[in-house]
Amino acid sequence: MKTLPLMIVLGFSVAPALGDKGRPTTGPDAQSAPTAADEERSEPNETDMDALRAARAKRVDAILTALEARSNGLRDIRCKIKFVEEDKLNLTTRTKEGEILFRMAEPNPQWAMYFSYTEVDDLPYGKQWYLFDGRWLYQAFERTRQVTQQEIALAGEKRDMFDLDEAPFPVPFGQKKDKILRNFDVKLVTAKKGDPPGCDHLVCIPKKDSRLKEKYASVEFFILRDLHLPIRVIVTKKGKYEVMQADFPGLSEESLNVGLTEKDFAERDEWKSFSRVIERRMPKAGDATDATGDAGNVQNSKPPPRSRQETPSSPDR
């Protein structure tokens, strides 16, 4: 996608041969201070600002269009991931590094995150796995030697796993432009120090009438201009106490359409000796989903009460 040029010059004017009221621009008067009228003309007017806003909106639309088009051509992705969560209320930082896999499939896409390295406040933790096979969401933790198996979709049921309001976790790939614009006010912001290079930085604020306003304060995408996919995603939850950042270092053309199969989303051999909790989803008439990604109290296999548990945004303690 070619970058659309934005050439709007504000606060700059070329002096005519004669100034206001025929004032000469040469001779002794040429060095006189600018008049009030000159200064007023140097300020951006409403027409300039409207043009600037329109150009930015056009650029945002082009970025999201290219993102959707690129996602439509994806069969699968395999790349590294670095996941950092900051809990500003409890002053806790969690860091995980590993690999993310994503595969378009029917009736639902499959994805997995395998973290070979996990650190909580500088203390090492064991391996962690998060896997969605199209029906079941598995969350496995080496430290507790436990697997939680949660039913996200009923057998044969199609779910929109790219819908931020419906999916258990924000999926960075496969987002649709119309759904983003329907739920968010999207702003293109200027790159700052520390941002990944070669990216367009979009800040998405939930609209007042969007249900996502109850979950998120903002979702930010850093989209590579040459690849049209996000290399960084930052999710700030409502209240702004929890901030999650996912980076995909090395994401490139070589990461795409690598030939992943069903076997890549099978249960891991390491889990064979783990204890297991199974949570089935009970269908409800008119209810799109009852799955939130919250694994509940995983101490037994009875229907658990809601509580904060081991998820990518709240790792094993």
Residues 160-218: tens digit of each pLDDT: 766 666 655 556 677 789 989 999 999 999 999 999 999 999 999 999 999 889 989 99
Identify the CATH assignment for 68-279 out of 3.40.50.620, 2.50.20.10, 3.30.70.100, 3.10.20.600: 2.50.20.10
- Helical spans, DSSP H, in the chain: 36-42, 46-72, 177-183
Specify the pLDDT at position 80: 95
Cα dist from 317 to 94, 118, 143, 311, whole Å: 10, 11, 9, 11
Mean pLDDT to the nearest integer, 114-129: 90
How many angstroms from the chain centroid is the CA of residue 4?
23
Reported as a single tens digit per residue, the pLDDT across 260-283 is 999 999 999 999 999 999 999 876
Q: Where are the domains of the chain?
A: 68-279
Q: How many CA atoms lie within 13 A of 281 on its CB side?
A: 23
List 205's β-bridge partners, or say none. Answer: 185
The yes-or-no verdict on residue 241 having pLDDT over 50 is yes
In whole angstroms, what is the distance from residue 45 CA to residue 138 CA?
Answer: 56
Distance of CA 262 to CAs 182, 259, 270, Å?
33, 10, 18
Residue in the structure block whose two tokens are 């989903």: 289
Q: What is the mean pLDDT of residues 52-67?
A: 92
> Which residues lie closer than 8 Å to 274 by C-beta, 6 or more apart?
140, 145, 146, 147
